[in-house]
Amino acid sequence: MADIVFRNVTKRYGGTLAVDDASFAVNDNEFFCFFGPPLSGKSTILRLVLGLETPDMGEILIGGKPVNTVSPAERNVAMVFQNLALFPHMSARDNIRFPLVERRVAEAEIEKRVADVAAKLHIGHILHKPPAQLSGGERQRVAIARALVRDPVAYLMDDPISALDARLREETRVELKRIQRELGKTLIYVTHDQEEAMSVADRMAILESGKIRQIGAPAEIYDRPASTYVARLLGSPMMNILKSVHGAEGVEAAEGTIRIADTGAPADAVEIGLRPEDLKVRAWSEGGAGRPARVFEVEPLGGYTVVTLAAGQARLRALLRGQPDIRPDAMVAISCEPGRVHYFGQSGGALER
């Protein structure tokens, strides 16, 4: 079993709290993602798991055993370096063999382990090729094979594809997800890209200044963000978050442009959140329900269109399917299902309806 547990772990660098009282449990065989802005403590968490840093407080357990005083080698957790870090002058096979040769493992054992890991990663047929003759996905598999040939209990990746261009990133993350599913080994993955985190992770932890703000499956966190901080981090365009008041006809925001007749609205809500895809926008001339707003700008993106609305002093963004006939400065009617509204209290925490 290679579950990895932090219990109230704190790590300081001088006056900086790099990791602040973090508790989480990564399950065996899970693709677990840490997501947060730069300097939020993601890399420090990986170094603590590897054993390159020791916690100032708290306990780390791997496979149920406390490892605070266990050396990195004995923890047997592998870091996968970017696929660019493959030795260019060596074949894929020699790249994969390298960690074992370095450790003076017997030749017969090396051959057996390389064959095993190559079979698991479906790269047996490309072992003779140098990295330059491999596709991006194949290089990724070779880099992972080089980390896994030591048979670690878990493998870690620190923002592994941030250096790639957007198109290659999309391809690579699908590849990574597929590899992890096939291998069924615990993977802890760090990224500062919300879309990447959402797309690859079984579960993810959201960090802010060394603190874990929420843990859950991506869809769960997206649908029920625990705070405005988390709500703003996930989703593109970002969630519309507006100051709200309780009026006679329900919850109002953006100077009455948003009015939600929601009997379930929590009394202590001071802000509401509306996902762009939950805003309904229709031409004003069509009539029907909805409050009036003026179209500020329209961004047609092919499969969908982002419409920015001027609602009092506020700007609201709506995400519409296809290419609706909506022009700048037109009047539209906007509405939102009460059940899709997020409510937040004074300190930014989410409130239950």
User: Residues in the site for ligand ADP, rule: CB under 6 A?
Assistant: 13, 16, 18, 36, 38-44
Binds 10: which of ligand ADP, Mg ion, none (CB < 5-8 Å by kind):
none
Distance in Å, CB of 160 to ligand ADP, minimum: 13
Distance in Å, CB of 154 to ligand ADP, minimum: 18
| Burial state string for 159-182 with b = 16 or more CB within 10 A and e = fewer than 16 | bbbeebeeeebeebbebbbebbee
Strand spans (E) along 40-91: 57-62, 65-66, 77-79
Structural tokens at position 62: 């791997």
Q: Is 209 in the site for Mg ion (CB under 5 A)?
A: no
Binds 342: which of ligand ADP, Mg ion, none (CB < 5-8 Å by kind):
none
**Element containing residue 274 per DSSP (H, E):** strand 271-274
Stretch that binds Mg ion, among 37-45, 172-180, 194-202, 292-300 (CB under 5 A): 37-45
Distance in Å, CB of 39 to ligand ADP, minimum: 4
C-alpha–C-alpha distance, residues 53 and 70, integer Å: 11
Q: Is 76 in the site for Mg ion (CB under 5 A)?
A: no
C-alpha–C-alpha distance, residues 337 and 252, integer Å: 14
Question: 210 or 235: whose CB is closer to ligand ADP?
Answer: 210
Stretch that binds Mg ion, among 43-51, 107-115, 126-134, 323-331 (CB under 5 A): 43-51
Distance in Å, CB of 260 to ligand ADP, minimum: 37
Output the CA torsion 85→87→92→94 (10° steps): -130
Distance in Å, CB of 22 to ligand ADP, minimum: 11
Binds 88: which of Mg ion, ligand ADP, none (CB < 5-8 Å by kind):
none
CB neighbours of residue 319 within 10 Å: 19
Question: 23 or 43: whose CB is closer to ligand ADP?
Answer: 43
C-alpha–C-alpha distance, residues 219 and 234, integer Å: 10
Question: What single-letter amino acid sits at 348?
Answer: G
Distance in Å, CB of 44 to Mg ion, minimum: 8
Binds 16: which of Mg ion, ligand ADP, none (CB < 5-8 Å by kind):
ligand ADP
10 Å CB burial of residue 104 (0-12, 13-18, 19+) is exposed
Q: Is 43 in the site for Mg ion (CB under 5 A)?
A: yes
Site residues (vs Mg ion, CB under 5 A): 43
